[in-house]
Structure 1
Amino acid sequence: MAKKPADSLVIMTELVLPNDTNVFGNLMGGRLMYWMDIAAALAAQKHSNAPVVTASVDNLSFMNSIKLGNAVHIEARVTRAFNTSMEVYLNVWGEDLVAQNKYQSNTAYYTFVALDEAGKPKAAADLKPETEEDMELFNGALRRRQVRLILGGKMKPGDAKELKALFEKG
């Protein structure tokens, strides 16, 4: 049975404390990645109704740093399900709670694999995009997957039909 991206939505909020920061008073990238991994795993588990493991992290972009004392809001949702893997899109905002100012901080794509009771890969439910943004993320997921497979040595560049279509004249 197909699920909607909204069914997997997770919004996680953290407060940046001194132990989370570097010498500049900014949230450490590794700490943010840890929080993002948790939010993405929760979204993938909601979609698959199964435990999941992180398979890859890509396109992690750092736009604006998040300062000590600010809140971090992490939004995660499944963008596409393949056989046993699921792509999860994450959008991260910082929020200066005193100035009441929210700002874009990061985006990323994580990939998870659902596991059965024996710890073997399990088929993930299909995903049915609803909104225009859902469709854009869904359609782009196949190309992003091909890039991941090529970089991981699991696909030859010549076999990436959707990627080639971007560069060929029709």
Structure 2
Amino acid sequence: MIKNQDIQAHAIPIQQSRTVLTDLVFPNDTNHHHTIFGGKVMAYVDKIACISAMRHCRKPVVTASSDSFDFLAPIKTGEAINLEAYVVCTHRTSMDVIVKVERENLLTGERQLTAKARLTMLAIGEDGKPTRVPEVIPHTEEEKQQYQEANERYRLRHH
């Protein structure tokens, strides 16, 4: 049994899980509107959330749920897709991961937020069952706010 002080001793700063991915959007990534397929964006989001969660817990993970996924603007052929993910909150075996997606016009440097998502990732032990994850330590004001919001959502969902 892991004691609370042992978990605290192994708490990890949010910054350690921060993961960034950039890719170029080609014609075969897009629909007839010349904008990236929503499913392609979702696959990128799932992949980067997985990497971020694994960086946090250093264990294999699976996606337990997509708590929210909001598309805000399209990304066009020839633009870059930039993704950023980080673990904002943890519970016994799960991690709340935020992913932000933006488009970048590589010729002008203009950037725009195009999607945001929140996923719950579950750590899996060698026995194939959910296993404990380290707590997370928020440092910045934004991280502290996201941490509190994630805990409140968790409390509402589980009570």
Q: TM-score, normalised by structure 1?
A: 0.85
Q: Counterpart of 1:60 in structure 2: which amino acid?
A: F
Instruction: Using the TM superposition, give the Cα deviation of residue 144 of structure 1 relative to its aligned residue in structure 2, in angstroms.
Output: 2.4
**Is 2:151 the counterpart of 1:142?**
yes
List alignment gaps of at least 5 residues for structure 1.
150-154, 160-170
**Is 2:61 the counterpart of 1:30?**
no
CA distance in 2, matches of 1:117, 1:125: 17
CA distance in 1, matches of 2:154, 2:76: 33
Q: Write out per-residue CA displacement over residues 39-76 of structure 1, whole angstroms, 9 at most, x where no aligned residue.
A: 00000000011000000112211111100110001000
Instruction: Using the TM superposition, give the Cα deviation of residue 102 of structure 1 relative to its aligned residue in structure 2, in angstroms.
Output: 0.8
CA distance in 1, matches of 2:75, 2:41: 10
Q: Note the 1:98-137 alignment, pairs <5 A.
A: 98-137=107-146
**Is 2:98 the counterpart of 1:82?**
no
Instruction: Using the TM superposition, give the Cα deviation of residue 143 of structure 1 relative to its aligned residue in structure 2, in angstroms.
Output: 2.5
2:16 pairs with 7, 18, 27, which one? 7
Moved over 4 A (4+): none
CA distance in 1, matches of 2:76, 2:127: 42
Instruction: Using the TM superposition, give the Cα deviation of residue 146 of structure 1 relative to its aligned residue in structure 2, in angstroms.
Output: 4.3
Q: Counterpart of 2:151 in structure 1: which amino acid?
A: L
CA distance in 2, matches of 1:39, 1:91: 10
Q: Write out per-residue CA displacement over residues 89-116 of structure 1, whole angstroms, 9 at most, x where no aligned residue.
A: 0111100112221111111101100011
CA distance in 2, matches of 1:73, 1:121: 31
List alignment gaps of at least 5 residues for structure 2.
1-9
Instruction: Using the TM superposition, give the Cα deviation of residue 128 of structure 1 relative to its aligned residue in structure 2, in angstroms.
Output: 0.9
**1:136 aligned counterpart, secondary structure:** helix
Equivalent pairs, count: 150
Corresponding residue for 2:101?
A: 92
**1:33 aligned counterpart, secondary structure:** helix
**1:133 aligned counterpart, secondary structure:** helix
**Is 2:52 the counterpart of 1:43?**
yes
CA distance in 1, matches of 2:127, 2:27: 41
Q: TM-score, normalised by structure 2?
A: 0.91
**1:65 aligned counterpart, secondary structure:** coil
Q: Counterpart of 1:63 in structure 2: which amino acid?
A: L
CA distance in 2, matches of 1:45, 1:95: 27
CA distance in 2, matches of 1:27, 1:109: 20
